Amino acid sequence: MKKNKKLTIIGKLSEKLKCSLEELNKLSEQQTNYINYRTSQSTFLEACAGGGKTEVIGLKTAYEIKRWVNPNGGLAIITFTNSAANELDNRVKKYAGISASLFPHFIGTFDSWLHSYLLQPFSHYLTRYAGKDGDKSIRIILEDKHAGFLTNYTVNLTRGGQSRPIRATQYYCSPNWDNFDSFDEDISRLLTSQPLTRGEIASLIANKKKFITAGFATYSDAEMVCHQLLSAYPDLREKISARFPIIFIDECQDLSHSQIEILNILKSRGVHLHFIGDLHQAIYDFRKVDPSETRKYVDEHQFVNLKLTNNYRSCQQIVDISNTVIGQRIRVNANLTAISQTPCIIWQYDDTSFSQLPTRFDNLVAAHDLSIDKCAILARGKSTISPLKSQSGKKDYSKVELFVAAIESWYKPSRNATDLMNALEYLGRFFCMLGYDGNGSFREQYRPDSFNNIQWRQLLKKILCQCVDLYPFEENGNDINWNSWIPKLKTFLPTVWHELRGRTKEFAQIARKIRVPNGEGNNSVKSALQNAVIENRFRTTTIHSVKGETLDAVLLVSHKNRLSKGGHFSHWLRDGNHEEEHIRFAYVACSRPKHLLVIATPVLSQDELNRLINLGFIYQP
């Protein structure tokens, strides 16, 4: 795109939108092109992770809303979660000054759109549901619901001589009643491992119809009913198509087969579909979502394929590793400057060191001055996360508190062997964070590479002995407060800093970090030793729950057992096979952080370790 063309487009956008020229100028040519692209043709905006989809779809829909002239029909902007819909609507409000839910437009989840415009107003014509007190709305029942009334809607399937009751909520049917499956793996096997008899098919259909006619439906049933409505009533098809002539689908990789079929009926009546997404981030296999169906659909229907191929979230090393995970050969350019020389790190853990992972991560995060609120510990499943969440007991200190804790442990009159070890560990951690960007062996008092084990301990002891004037934390017989003690520490540290061989930071570069803890100025230094925070302070959660987010640092923890379903690091890195969902999970996790990506694995063989190192990770013992 010529520079003049981009300027013309952003000039046009800034007239319509509440967005300065300066802000719009940051958009890439690909982003500008998409925002300006005509809506009268179905398109697929295929974006890489961190490509700025959310930003772009916010601007695009705000722009279309501002120039919308049709009073009877509007845009449908569809997402898959309420939080994504709210986020998008906030952007539309920011840029267009009005909500995207203002008539004639719609913004919300696929389900809420379908239920509001098709299922609730029209389904009773098809299902003949009589309603209650004049209310003919359908009640959605979750698939895994076990309420007693569901025994009235049960069908028995006999396999291997055993009869198995299946509730109407536990299976779903295709709109033509010729295909049956379930989200429950066991029931899915029952339904699909051998052909159903005619009698079984008839029972499954009758049971499902009885359930729906009584005014109930699962989310899948709701989609089936809507599909049947659109197929059975041409007027309704025309009406919905005229009501929403343009439909945007954010995160289109999450579309299920039946949702694509519904959209296709509308497309055949002239609706223009605008898919936006990243097929590598499809992680809804448990809902039988297969991103290759979306790919096939857009290809077969000749959508205009537009792309966002620059990553605005992460530094280049993180982008490269994320792309290697999915076997992406075309280089994706990062637009963020790395803040660390080693943004991609491997740690190994054993049964003892597993529980120390959050503390280790805490040190790394603190050493890079990142905010804990924007960092997360991630795993595929809850069984890996739970033990990390529930640890307690060990105290965690801020940087200057570490120094205080070190000299307290060293000088206290009743010092025992544990105090000695703690003193070395606290001081080692302090210097590792401030002098070595957090790169040190946490098993050896955070020893940096430039020292051997003995040399490092000797240096720490020597410095502790030199701190004699900083202890006890008293002045003229009274407890000293932080305001008075920090200047003493600031005078002391430069006298020993030169001893930190191979340091990555000079004292002048970190001096501002030697400061009074927030709001503690008038409190006694001794009080820090009682008020320390209990770890783990990180948000510790599943990969699923951070989809769509931008984080500063991520610690991705592998399950220790290879047999775990998709949770072991070996499932995330499979040569030549990049289609598995496990790989997409790894991709989502690896592509969240801006600055630091750490993978913690159980102890690796040399081959495994080399493989990770070849991918671009740096191993930190």
Ligand X SMILES: Nc1ncnc2c1ncn2[C@@H]1O[C@H](COP(=O)(O)OP(=O)(O)OP(=O)(O)O)[C@@H](O)[C@H]1O
> How far, in Å, CA of 599 to CA of 519, rounded?
35
> How far, in Å, CA of 60 to CA of 63, rounded?
5
Nearest to 243 by CA among 265, 271, 274, 264: 271
Nearest to 612 by CA among 594, 598, 593, 595: 598
> How far, in Å, CA of 111 to CA of 224, rounded?
12
- Residues numbered 512 to 551 that lie near ligand X (CB under 6 A) are 548, 550
Minimum Å gap between C-beta 51 and ligand X is 4
Minimum Å gap between C-beta 615 and ligand X is 19
Residue 34 or 312: the one with the smaller Cβ distance to ligand X is: 312
> How far, in Å, CA of 338 to CA of 342, rounded?
9
Minimum Å gap between C-beta 276 and ligand X is 9
Residue 271 or 551: the one with the smaller Cβ distance to ligand X is: 551
| Residue 52 is assigned to a ligand binding site | yes
| Residue 381 is assigned to a ligand binding site | no
> How far, in Å, CA of 21 to CA of 15, rounded?
9
- Segment (H or E) for 217: strand 216-217
Residue 284 or 482: the one with the smaller Cβ distance to ligand X is: 284
Nearest to 170 by CA among 208, 226, 139, 115: 208
> How far, in Å, CA of 604 to CA of 498, rounded?
36
**364 C-beta neighbours (distance < 10 Å), count:** 27
| Residue 199 is assigned to a ligand binding site | no
Minimum Å gap between C-beta 308 and ligand X is 7
26 binds ligand X (CB under 6 A): yes
Minimum Å gap between C-beta 92 and ligand X is 14
Stretch that binds ligand X, among 20-28, 37-45, 293-301, 410-418 (CB under 6 A): 20-28
| Residue 54 is assigned to a ligand binding site | yes
278 binds ligand X (CB under 6 A): yes
- Segment (H or E) for 482: helix 482-497
The tokens for 110 are 């696929």
Please pick, from the candidates 6, 10, 17, 31, the single residue that binds ligand X as defined by CB under 6 A. 31
| Residue 327 is assigned to a ligand binding site | no
Q: What is the pairing mode between strands 478-479 and 474-475? A: antiparallel
Residue 50 or 593: the one with the smaller Cβ distance to ligand X is: 50
Residue 252 or 486: the one with the smaller Cβ distance to ligand X is: 252
Residue 216 or 275: the one with the smaller Cβ distance to ligand X is: 275
| Residue 47 is assigned to a ligand binding site | yes
Minimum Å gap between C-beta 272 and ligand X is 22
Minimum Å gap between C-beta 439 and ligand X is 27
Three-state DSSP at 519 gives coil
CA separation, residue 316 to residues 48, 323, 456, 482 (Å): 14, 10, 33, 41
Q: How would you classify residue 619: left for phi > 0, otherwise alpha for psi between -120 and 50, otherwise beta?
A: beta
CA separation, residue 570 to residues 559, 567, 595 (Å): 10, 9, 24
- Residues numbered 32 to 61 that lie near ligand X (CB under 6 A) are 47, 49-55
Residue 31 or 524: the one with the smaller Cβ distance to ligand X is: 31
Chain centroid, CA 319 distance in Å: 15
| Residue 553 is assigned to a ligand binding site | no
Q: Which positions from 584 to 603 touch ligand X by CB under 6 A, shown as an x/- string? A: -------x------------
79 binds ligand X (CB under 6 A): no
Residue 50 or 602: the one with the smaller Cβ distance to ligand X is: 50
Query: 279 with 587: CB under 8 angstroms?
Result: no
Minimum Å gap between C-beta 108 and ligand X is 18
| Residue 50 is assigned to a ligand binding site | yes
Stretch that binds ligand X, among 25-33, 207-215, 220-228, 561-569 (CB under 6 A): 25-33
Binding-site residue numbers for ATP are 47-54
Which parts of this chain interact with ligand X (CB under 6 A)? 26-28, 31, 47, 49-55, 278, 281, 312-313, 548, 550, 591
